[in-house]
Amino acid sequence: MKNYIILLLTILLFTSCQEDITSNLKQIETNLKTDNASISEFILKNDTIIKGRLGTQIFIPKDLFDNYTNGKITFELKEYFSKEDIILNGLSTITDKDELLESSGMIYINFTEEGKQLTIKEGKRYKAQLPNKILANSNLYSNANDSIFKWEFIEGIQRDTAIIDILKNAAFGITVDKTGAGGFFKNVKTDSVSIIQKRDSLLLIKNRKESKKREIQNQIIAETNMAEFDFGDPSFGDFTETDTTVTTEQLEKQYKMYQKFYDFDTFASSKLGWINCDRVLNVEKEVTLQLSLKNHKNITHFSVYYIYKNYKTFLKESYRSTPALSKNFKVSGRTKVVVMSTTNDTYLYDFFYVNKSSKTNFEINLKETTLDNLKKVLISQ
């Protein structure tokens, strides 16, 4: 019986020590995080717009919620748009199908009413307008988990954006400045923007051609005796063709100037939790990384950060201490790999780089560092 108690106490002590060290590792990861959260409280009587600290705007219809009872709503919004924020907050960019993502930014949205989780009515959506430009060919992904990120593709998302209504501006003789201020806009779905651009541009060119042709004809009628006018006189030149060419060039120049307005920055969703705007990243090759920890006996757990240099792409995984580790790794450009751990209150790290031509076997020799230096290592390329 005495030996059993000693064994039980030994197991409990060992388990407690492991939990302490694991907790220390989580504490380091918590200390690395940036605070981009904002909290708002309001009573929803009318359609409401709330703006986050970094510029995200959330449009909330007054009838959005299924279980709202007219009490005070607490709205939580987190905004992570920079690569540094994504890395320091451990927000991995990989899907539940193991696809590597390149992110335009992530937000977290949640509503509670006096501690009660609010749910969105079937068929209703809030609208989110992001402050930054979204990468072309992006889609939206969601995740309800606040610690382990495997993003799930959102089916049937509604995305729209405001584009310059060049036809209406032309009809009213309005010249829009470089910021787009002062003219007419129209909302269109993202998947129809290119179609509308092409249709509007062709129609505007056609209208301008016809307008210039009528202008020339009217000028000829007003200034020339039609009976004596020689339509074959080459001295008059081909006015219509020359002016049409200028009109087309001007239009192309105008579209380049306003191209930024044609990327979607707004979407409508019924999803709460994490929303990520991403496109799938092309992978050059897949390799098997072999990591051996030179001083693994001093630690029980460690985290590995995979930071893709040329993309806003990042992975974080945690492992139990082991003499060797194999990892199937997707290569796309140059990637910085940072290994991080702790013993008591001491921060430990090492790092190396990987690309499609590099070696795949690396010996990890963890060294002591400070929290500030660890941040610099993670966000520097």
Identity (one letter) of the amino acid at 344?
N
In the numeric block, which tokens belong to residue 111? 């509503």
3 state DSSP class of 210: helix
Angle, CA of 31, 321 and 329, to the nearest 5°: 85
Give the integer Cα–Cα distance in Å for 189 and 192: 5
CB 50 within 8 A of CB 372: no
Task: Annotate 22-83 with DSSP letters as a single string.
Answer: HHHHHHHHHHH----EEEEEE--SS-EEEE-TTS-EEEE-TT-BSS--SSPEEEEEEEE-SH
Lookup: tokens for 85: 């924020």
Instruction: Look up the pTM and report it.
Output: 0.68
Element at 303 (helix H, strand E): strand 301-308
Number of C-beta neighbours around residue 202 at 10 A: 11
Distance from C-alpha of 341 to C-alpha of 335, rounded to nearest angstrom: 20
CA 8 to chain centre: 50
Distances (CA, A) of 233 to 222, 227, 229, 236, 268: 18, 14, 9, 6, 61
Question: CA-to-CA distance for 300 and 319, rounded, in angstroms?
Answer: 9
Question: How far is Cα 367 from Cα 371, in angstroms, rounded to an integer?
Answer: 13
Q: How far is CA 2 from CA 5, 6, 7, 8, 9, in A?
A: 5, 6, 9, 10, 11
Phi, psi of 32 (to 5 degrees): -75, -20
Residue-level pLDDT, tens digit, the chain, 381 residues: 545 444 444 433 433 343 444 567 788 888 899 989 999 999 999 999 999 999 998 999 999 999 999 999 999 999 999 999 999 999 999 999 999 999 999 999 999 999 999 999 998 999 888 888 777 778 889 987 766 678 998 875 555 566 677 777 777 777 655 544 556 767 666 556 566 666 777 777 777 777 777 777 776 666 555 445 444 444 444 433 334 444 555 555 554 544 433 344 677 788 899 999 889 999 999 999 999 988 777 788 899 999 999 999 999 998 888 888 899 999 999 999 999 998 877 899 999 999 999 999 999 999 999 999 999 999 997
- What is the distance in angstroms between the CA of the first residue and the CA of the last residue of the chain? 58
Report the C-alpha gap between 96 and 144 in whole angstroms.
Answer: 13
Q: Are 275 and 109 in contact (CB under 8 A)?
A: yes
